[in-house]
């Protein structure tokens, strides 16, 4: 007979519940990943991340190195084989353990299916799926030692595609399939594997990419966000990066000790809404985003030329 679990609510939700634990997250220099890095580090974990954004990686690396629970950031291309396993090896060499692993990094460049280049198609699978596979393989033996946890970050587009992002939806569907399968395969070693199916969460990253004089693009971006928040899901406001970070922390924590193989829908009710994927309001929001993205890229290209 199992002994009673001495873990209590006071210890599960203590501000230092992750003290001394080691957690890695890919794509942690911006957006959702950065929110996860900040929260987990604030809860006492040694956090490390791998990201290809050089400047953002430098900033989050400096933040982690000076945090009470020190961490580090690796600036590297996740499409390159060995990058993820090398980062995990560096963390284990430094702290001697691994308690949590989060496959968060992903790329998406919406366009009609078949119009994307073979190189772009392969790149999306390399970052969104192959790097996650590498992380799952490299992290598993260390997570088995600590009875740790793995979280894969999926998207509502795995379940309800919006059109013109078919390769991205394919990669997220693969990630959810991997989550369910590994939950079975890794259970014998007491390693939990779950996923978060993310809906619309406003990171503000698009706004930060704009130049100081790009007020027209800024207003357009804000209009898009408002349209999507009001029409894409029953919940009347968009999610925040902190919502994502708390979901990650929950799935990594002992509070979720009997939860594995689950796909947690963090989407404001989008996945249970009766609105069809091609609802006119959703299409309008999607087209507005494409317009914003095009103007952002044009603005940045102009800045680079001048």
Nearest to 267 by CA among 216, 220, 200, 168: 200
Task: Report how far residue 212's alpha carbon sits from residue 224's, in angstroms, rounded to the nearest whole number.
Answer: 19
- Token duo for residue 22: 């080691």
Q: What are phi and psi of 270, to 5 degrees?
A: -55, -45
- The answer for residues whose C-beta is within 8 angstroms of residue 26's C-beta and 6 or more apart is 33, 49, 50, 51, 78, 84, 102, 103, 104, 105, 131, 132, 135
296 — pLDDT class (breaks 50, 70, 90): low
- Token duo for residue 189: 């070693």
State the residue range of the domain holding 122.
17-201+239-269
Task: Report how far residue 202's alpha carbon sits from residue 289's, in angstroms, rounded to the nearest whole number.
Answer: 13
Write down the residue that tokens 């501000």 correspond to: 15
Check whether 225 has a pLDDT greater than 70: no
Whether pTM > 0.75 for this model: the answer is: yes
Residues with active-site annotation: 168
Cα-Cα-Cα-Cα dihedral sign, residues 259, 103, 133, 24: negative
**Residue 214 located in a structural domain:** no
**Residue 159 located in a structural domain:** yes
Residue with the bigger pLDDT between 279 and 248: it is 248
Q: Is 295 exposed, middle or buried (0-12, 13-18, 19+ CB in 10 A)?
A: middle
- The answer for residues whose C-beta is within 8 angstroms of residue 37's C-beta and 6 or more apart is 25, 28, 29, 47, 49, 60, 64, 71
**Residue 25 located in a structural domain:** yes
DSSP annotation string for 110-140: ---TTTS-HHHHHHHHIIIIIHHHHHHHHHH
- Which pLDDT score is estimated for 213? 47
Strands 192-198 and 149-155: parallel
**Residue 291 located in a structural domain:** no
**Residue 220 located in a structural domain:** no
| 208-224 confidence digits (pLDDT tens) | 444 444 566 566 666 66
Average pLDDT over residues 58-73: 95
- The answer for residues whose C-beta is within 8 angstroms of residue 181's C-beta and 6 or more apart is none
- Which pLDDT score is estimated for 208? 43
Q: Are 282 and 224 in contact (CB under 8 A)?
A: no
Residue 213 has a CB neighbour count (10 Å cut-off) of 10
36 — pLDDT class (breaks 50, 70, 90): very high
Residue with the bigger pLDDT between 235 and 191: it is 191
161 — pLDDT class (breaks 50, 70, 90): confident
Check whether 107 has a pLDDT greater than 80: yes
Nearest to 73 by CA among 43, 34, 126: 34
| 6-24 confidence digits (pLDDT tens) | 566 666 667 778 999 999 9
| 21-34 confidence digits (pLDDT tens) | 999 999 999 999 99
**Residue 164 located in a structural domain:** yes
**Residue 274 located in a structural domain:** no
Angle in degrees, 0-180, between the axes of helices 83-95 and 131-146, rounded to the nearest 10: 20
Count of the separate structural domains present in the chain: 1
The CATH number assigned to the domain holding 88 equals: 3.40.50.720
| 110-158 confidence digits (pLDDT tens) | 888 988 999 999 999 999 999 999 999 999 999 999 999 999 999 999 9
**Residue 157 located in a structural domain:** yes
């Amino acid at each position: 007979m199992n002994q009673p679990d001495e873990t209590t609510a006071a210890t599960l939700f203590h501000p230092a519940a992750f003290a001394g634990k080691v957690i890695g997250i890919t794509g942690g220099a911006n957006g959702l990943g950065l929110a996860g890095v900040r929260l987990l580090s604030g809860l006492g974990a040694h956090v490390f991340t791998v990201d290809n954004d050089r400047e953002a990686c430098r900033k989050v690396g400096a933040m982690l190195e000076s945090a009470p629970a020190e961490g580090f950031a690796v600036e590297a291309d996740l499409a390159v084989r060995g990058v993820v396993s090398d980062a995990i090896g560096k963390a284990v060499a430094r702290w001697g353990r691994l308690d949590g692993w989060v496959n968060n990094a992903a790329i998406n460049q919406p366009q009609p299916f078949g119009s994307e280049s073979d190189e772009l198609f392969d790149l999306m699978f390399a970052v969104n799926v192959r790097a996650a596979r590498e992380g799952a393989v490299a992290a598993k033996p260390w997570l088995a030692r600590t009875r740790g946890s793995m979280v894969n970050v999926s998207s509502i587009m795995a379940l309800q595609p919006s059109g013109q992002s078919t390769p991205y939806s394919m990669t997220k569907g693969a990630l959810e399939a991997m989550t369910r399968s590994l939950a079975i395969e890794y259970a014998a070693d007491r390693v939990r594997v779950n996923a978060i199916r993310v809906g619309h969460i406003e990171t503000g990253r698009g706004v930060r990419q704009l130049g100081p004089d790009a007020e027209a693009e800024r207003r357009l971006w804000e209009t898009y966000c408002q349209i999507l928040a009001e029409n894409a899901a029953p919940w009347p406001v968009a999610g925040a990066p902190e919502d994502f970070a708390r979901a990650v922390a929950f799935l990594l924590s002992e509070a979720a000790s009997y939860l594995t193989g689950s796909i947690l829908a963090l989407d404001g009710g989008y996945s249970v809404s009766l609105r069809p994927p091609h609802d006119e309001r959703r299409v309008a929001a999607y087209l507005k985003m494409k317009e914003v993205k095009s103007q952002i890229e044009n603005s940045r290209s102009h800045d680079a030329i001048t």
